[in-house]
Amino acid sequence: MKDNGYDEEFAVAITGASSCIGPIIPPTISGVVYCVASGVSVGKMFIAGILPGCCLAFVQMIYVYIVAKKRDYPRTPFGGFRDLSRSFVTSFPALLTPIIILGGIITGICTPTEASVVAVLYALLQGFLTRDLKWKDMPGIMDDTLTSAMSVLFIVSCANAFGYIITAQQIPGKLAALFLSVVTNKFVALLVINLFLLLVGMVMESLAALVILVPILMPVIASFGIDPLHFGIVCILNITIGMLTPPVGMVLFTLSNVSSLSFERITKAMLPLLAVNCIALLIVTYCPPLTTWLPNLII
């Protein structure tokens, strides 16, 4: 984007903001963690994220279009359907990966864990067939995988221990009772929960926040008749947006490491896109069929 004349702040900000779509569109690790904490079907959760993810992408596209017109950014002409078809054929084997994961889970052929193993084997096969991978690359790949998996599992294990403590102390029930004594309207409850989750996302790692908070909030949403599937997408989107906000915005630190911009400049450039993402969050929050219609239709 820099080579084509885009401002570096804008390029970095839109790259970070669009990363919010990843945890929503299936397959998603956050979705699996939520399902483990809440008991919701993984297959339904994966399908439930498709339309909200598209909604988030569409809102961001509108913002990008307005900014691009205002700043007169360069435009690349459409290469034609021949180039599009050629690109699709080239990328089709890679595009089959999420289809294999979702197809295996939805049809009941394999569990989410088994589907992940099949996806890894398929990705390795594709890598060797296209010669993008070599046997000498495997030790480094294994090392990176073990490092990232251990860090995630350590966070989840600590969060589970903390979750056991707060459950043993009956904190979820007490917080639910306190919340219900103050808020009686379903729509107000959703707004308050959104604000609470956004604040939590600013200071906590996303997976740990899901493991700790979901058991606490489940009795609250049940008392208001909120669909757990709908709440799951709202919860994940909230926590993901929190990763774009200081002081502990993991995405902001990552963007600062891969660009020449300071943390402060990236934060400033991210503010308009945070507002855009919050608009998408409100749409998803107050339009439950956007989340529940497709999974109920398919499963």
Over residues 169-204, the pLDDT tens digits come to 776 667 667 777 778 888 888 888 888 888 877 777
Angle formed by the axes of helices 29-38 and 206-223, nearest 10°: 40
pLDDT value at position 291?
Answer: 92
Listed in order, strand segments (DSSP E) in 67-151 are: none
| 190 token code pair | 């959703």
CA-CA-CA-CA dihedral for 32, 33, 39, 43, to nearest 10: -10
3-state secondary structure of 77: coil
242 confidence band (pLDDT: 50, 70, 90): confident
Q: What are 75's two structure tokens?
A: 């435009």
Query: What is the number of other CB atoms lying within 10 angstroms of the CB of residue 155?
Result: 17
pLDDT tens-digit series, residues 114-164: 888 888 898 888 888 888 888 888 888 888 888 767 766 776 677 667 667
pTM higher than 0.85, yes or no? Answer: no
Instruction: Report how far residue 241's alpha carbon sits from residue 154's, in angstroms, rounded to the nearest whole number.
Output: 23
Cβ-based neighbour number of residue 120 at 10 Å: 12
- Taken as a whole, the chain contains a residue count of 299
